[in-house]
Structure 1
Amino acid sequence: MMVSPTLPWTNSPMPPTATIFTKRYSRVALLGLMSIITVFFFFWHAEPLGLAIIPLKPAPNAPQEPLHTDTNNTLPPTFDEWHNYEAKINTLPKSRYIAEGPTLPLIHFSNHAHGSGWGNIMQELLMNAHLAQAAGYGFVFDNYTWSKDMTSPFGIFNGKAIPGRIPLTALVAGPVVGANDQPAVSLPQFTELCNWKGEGLSSFKGEPNPNIYVLESEPLRATIGERGQMEGKDMLYGYVKELTRLKESGVQCVVVKESSLHMWDIWLFGDTHALSLMPYIRNSPVFTQFAWSPLILSLFWDNQAFFRDVRSKSWWEKWFGKEWDSLPAPVDPNHPHPIPIPAQLEAGSTNPPYTLLEGLLALHIRRGDFEEHCANLAAWGSRFNGFNSFPELPDTFTPPDGDDDRKAYAHSRCFPSVQDILQKVTSLRQIRKLDRVYVMSNGSPAFLQELKDELAKLGGWKDGGVRTSRDLTWSRREGKYVAQAMDMYVAQRADVFVGNGFSSLTSNVVLLRMINGVDPITTRHW
């Protein structure tokens, strides 16, 4: 009987052998393919081999998102769940300090800066953490503190209530908060481990504790050099030498006296003396492994359309969409972060050194108090901050002779006009393909709208890609109060960054870009 190659087999109780195998193996192949896809999706959240696996889910009992306890939405969030979670982080077993005796001393800089912007706080924080590590101490990290008034969770800025204390783990990740096997403890842990009850009241198991040493910075600084004249490397060497002496004498817990001078101050950070630190911090885990918290990464994810082409999706995102989010990920029960990192973020977005956001131009434009501040800086003859003065950077600060010319020059570099900004952007687009611009600014709505309109007239922006800090949206109430940190994360990853040479926020970004090996030609100043 002739068999039709196209018609169904109706005259036979069973199809040809070839057809049986074709269908059977098709089913098997389909089942195998679906199994592979299932396994692939289940394990995809792990990093590629050779990279550290980043757990994307929180540890058990950690808040699933940064909640708030106040019901009055006119008040800022209190970060209570973050505080509670951070207090439970156990990065150093207590048994090492109580039952067995310490193998690593701890140092708490109780004189750390407070009541200041995040840029100023962060630069001191990282240097304190590096000093602790260099001297062989565990670093004690504390809140980002605006107000030390413990009777209220709020502080006041420009007549408005703001969070008085933000847990550090809501802002940053990495060794500074004890990640990556680096020794660090929160202040509540330090208080318990060392039985510290305040300066002059230290005790251990009810008895005076001879192992708690209160360090005053002034006499130590005096042995190193004159204020404002000390090289950063000499300060680091002098501090490490003294802390090493204390450690070798058996001191277990060091507290830098709250009322004493900062170990690192504006006289260092505001001068090129800071540059001598670079050979020592360039390879320090505190800097090379510095990362941003999952809260900051989630805020970036909420606004990512401002910073990169979200239409360029991989095939699995095109096929399966946002359900990708809900798939399980490996969980590290000791993971120190209170919310998961957005699952869609690739390794280059979550692990330093970060990948650059191709085509993004980030502009840091200070307004507000800088109008007066810039006038004062010009009158004082100030120069760029230390880490804004790397010789590799193309936009050096070279004021002309003559008092009036010098003041005008300094003011234009500190407080650029809209025309100054347009001129800079135009020149940069002539040498690099830039199709998005993000303006990091505390400027008024009117100023930012004018700037957006003028930038838009330049044309060539993808998706009308001119955005400012005021265009951001926050899926969490906490977002507004950590926005500067997210701005810094974006600037750190920008294809080209233009910052204010007199700003500590800019200098932090510049330093991180230099440490992460970003081409200096792409790090600019007004």
Structure 2
Amino acid sequence: MPLFCLESRDTHAYDQLPAAVTSSGLTPTPKGPHAWNLRIRGLALKILVPVTLLSLICLLVYGPFDSFLSSRAELLDEQRLGADAVAQDDEVIVLPPLYGELKVLESQLPQHNLSLPFPEGKNGRYIRFENQMWGVGLNNQLEEILILSHLAHLSNRAYVFNNYTWDQISKGPYVYENGRPRATVIPLTAFISGPTAGGPWAPGDPAPRAISAEWWETVCPYEKRLVLNSTLENASMGLAPDVDGDILIAHWAEKLRNLDHECVALDGWAPSIVDIAFFVSNRVTSLFPMMSDSPVITRFAWSSIVRSGVIANYPLLLPGPSPQTISELPVLPGLVAIHLRRGDYYNHCKTILAPEGQEYMGWNRIDGLPDRFTPPPGAGGGALTPEAWTVYLSHCWPSDEQIKEKLRVVRAEDSTLTRVFVLTNGKREWVSSLKKKLLEDGWEDVATTLDLNLTWEQSGVNNAIDMEIAARAQTFIGNGFSSLTSNVNILRISRGMALEDIRFW
């Protein structure tokens, strides 16, 4: 299947919005105030209307626009979609990739065929969760996607995968945040491969393959659908709001498996079966034994765009020749990867995590991990004392000195650790300063997210590239409150990496 062996094209060309147009030398000589106003308005219309129209057209069909402005295209190494601050030229705004070619490849998946025998084809068994998250980060959505894909597999139904959706209200391909464009929708296959995104199950596994949301509309027209309300169904199954995750998923799997309807959908207006609140509670940990052995996890794979980004940056991460494929080196020996959330995370920690007395998130809570966290007295129920805030801050926003000290601890425990990779959305000035301090503290080499050499395509999924580097590092120090750290950890554990090599601030 071409979708699962697609190689990233090696281009550094960025699509751009046109530079500001000046009217220098075009201002007419006025003849009285009225004439002046008329001429200025006329010139404004002549100049601004065509430029505005051109800009809108280019935003919608930016592929041709790339060649139109190729003479001015330049690689801005500051462009990182996961970064807090992006340095932009006054006259250039970089447009992130939309990966439209992947939607074409998705449409060509072999399971998108009405003639296939049961349990696929026109009489196949399908489940679509119309109430999945959107408008939150990749890893909040990914942790839900993986559990729902696992539920679909247990119920012998094809999972219907959606795009990664940041904004499903806006009609255009981009929204602007903090002065920079962000894609409203990205194909899920830009980030991941494997069974959840339509790849094959293991030989002999009878489960139907996942299909795209677009093919769902063909194979499951509205009149064929049975629509379930999660709130009503939970009540009918006697499931309390705080039921443990393993019981919740087992009941839903039995429910979906025993339904005769071919096309089942979860009502988009009802709560998700596993929402964000689920992942910040102890309910999730009971699912870990099942999930870590699930083919959804054991056959999980990043997209070829992500994999190519990791392979291309091996020289930055590991001395010696680079591997030809990502499977040639399961562990990056001597490397400790550290996850440092910055940007708006300080406020998130102070206004949400600490006042609510939250514990670590998702898979960061499982038994056997060496670093545990118990909310201190003075945090929770909306209260937050200065002493409690100091404790929370050290875990969710460690200072430079605390970062250095934690790294000294893990190096003292394992002297083979000699190099550091920093996953971060921090500002360039701070990242550079931290890098210098770590080198002065005795580390042989320090690389960061900002040092990665990425193509234009790879820059749109750089957070996933960071994650795969962290998943392959010999040791990982993560942020226990982070869904990114949580997803990295379940990948590490499913690959047989030691629990003691997963640490937290």
- Structure 2-normalised TM-score? 0.77
The equivalent of 1:166 in structure 2 is 186
2:358 — aligned with what? Answer: 382
Matched, 1:407 2:389: yes
8 A contact 1:97–1:193 mirrored in 2: no
For residues 7-66 of structure 1, the C-alpha deviation after alignment (integer angstroms, 9 at most, x for no partner) is xxxxxxxxxxxxxxxxxxxxxxxxxxxxxxxxxxxxxxxxxxxxxxx999958xx99679
Q: 1:93 aligns with which of 97, 108, 113?
A: 113
2:406 matches 1:424: yes
Structure 2 residue 95 is matched with structure 1 residue 69: no
> Which deviations, in whole Å up to 9, do the C-alpha atoms of 1:161-202 show, x marking residues without a partner?
1122111111111111222346111111111112x3xxxxx1
Counterpart in the other structure of 1:114 = 134
Q: 1:471 to 1:130 in 2, by over 3 A?
A: same
Instruction: Give the distance between the partners of 1:495 and 1:140, measured in 2 at CA.
Output: 35
2:245 aligned partner, one-letter code = G
* C-alpha separation in 1, matches of 2:130 and 2:497: 34
Does structure 1 residue 131 correspond to structure 2 residue 107? no
Task: Determine if contact 1:224/1:238 at 8 Å carries over to the other structure.
Answer: no
State the superposition RMSD in angstroms. Answer: 2.6
Distance 1:100 1:442 in 2: 42
Kindly indicate whether the alpha-carbon contact (under 8 Å) linking 2:439 and 2:446 is maintained by their aligned counterparts in 1.
yes
* Counterpart residue identity of residue 510, structure 1: N
CA distance in structure 2 between the partners assigned to 1:446 and 1:393 by the alignment: 33
C-alpha distance in 2, partners of 1:482/1:347?
20
Alignment of structure 1 residues 203-242 onto 2, 5 Å:
209=223, 211-222=224-235, 223-227=237-241, 229-242=242-255
Is 1:479–2:479 an aligned residue pair? no
Residue 488 of structure 1 aligns with an amino acid whose one-letter code is M
- 2:448 maps to which residue? 468
Question: Using the alignment, how far apart are the partners of 1:146 and 1:399 within structure 2?
Answer: 31
Change (3 A) 1:148 1:399: closer
Amino acid at match of 2:449: S
Asked if the contact 1:455–1:466 (Cα under 8 Å) also holds between the matched residues in 2, the reply is yes
Whether 1:439 and 2:439 are equivalent positions in the alignment is: no
Matched letter for residue 191 of structure 1? E
Correspondent of 2:278 among 268, 272, 285: 268
- 1:136-147 equivalences under 5 Å are 136-147=156-167
Shift in Å at residue 85 of structure 1?
A: 1.8
Gaps of 5+ in 1: 1-53, 197-201, 203-208, 314-342, 350-354
Contact 2:193 2:199 in 1 (8 A): yes
Seen in structure 2, the aligned counterparts of structure 1 residues 287 and 58 have a Cα distance that, compared at 3 Å, is closer
Distance 1:261 1:55, change over 3 A: closer
- 1:280 paired to 2:287: no
Structure 1 residue 455, shift from structure 2 partner:
0.3
Q: Distance in 2 between matches of 1:151 and 1:370?
A: 29
Q: Alignment length, in residue pairs?
A: 415
The aligned amino acid for 1:491 is: A
Shift, 1:287, TM fit:
0.8
Q: Shift of the alpha carbon at 1:407?
A: 2.9
Distance 1:152 1:139 in 2: 27
Gaps of 5+ in 2: 14-61, 67-72, 74-93, 202-207, 380-384
Does structure 2 conserve the Cα–Cα contact (< 8 Å) formed by 1:92 and 1:183? no
Given that residues 98 and 193 in structure 1 are in contact (C-alpha distance below 8 angstroms), is that contact kept between their aligned partners in structure 2? Answer: no
Q: Give the superposition deviation at 1:134.
A: 0.5
Residue in structure 2 matched with residue 395 of structure 1 by the alignment: 371
- The alignment partner of 2:368 has SS state of coil
Match of 1:299 among 309, 323, 329: 309
The TM-score normalised by the length of structure 1 is 0.74
Write the letter of the residue equivalent to 1:120. N
Contact 1:364 1:439 survives alignment (8 Å): yes
Letter of the structure 2 residue corresponding to residue 107 of structure 1: I
Amino acid at match of 2:354: A
Cα distance per residue 1:324-369 (max 9 Å; x no partner): xxxxxxxxxxxxxxxxxxx8125345xxxxx111011100000111
Cα displacement (A) at 1:224 = 4.3
The reply on whether 1:82 has 2:123 as its aligned counterpart is: no
Percentage identity across paired residues of the two chains: 33
Letter aligned with residue 65 of structure 2 = T
3-state secondary structure, aligned to 1:69 = helix
Distance apart, 1:379 and its partner CA: 2.0
Say if 1:272 and 1:57 are closer, same or farther in 2 by CA, change over 3 A.
Answer: closer
* SS of residue in 2 equivalent to 1:183: coil
Give the Å deviation of 1:301.
Answer: 2.1
What SS does structure 2 have at the residue aligned with 1:511?
helix
Q: CA deviation at 1:514?
A: 1.7
**Distance in 1 between residues matched to 2:463 and 2:446, nearest whole Å:** 19
**1:43 alignment partner in structure 2:** none
Instruction: Quote how far apart the aligned CAs of 1:157 are.
Output: 3.0
Change (3 A) 1:345 1:96: closer
Q: In the alignment, what sits opposite 1:512?
A: 491
Q: Is the 8 A contact 1:456 1:466 kept in 2?
A: yes
Cα 1:64/1:88, change in 2 over 3 Å? farther
Question: Residue 345 of structure 2 aligns with which residue?
Answer: 370
For 1:525 and 1:375, how far apart are their aligned partners in 2?
19
Contact 2:135 2:166 in 1 (8 A): yes
Q: State the 1:298 CA deviation.
A: 0.9
Report how far residue 78 of structure 1 moved.
Answer: 2.2
Corresponding residue for residue 503 of structure 2: 524
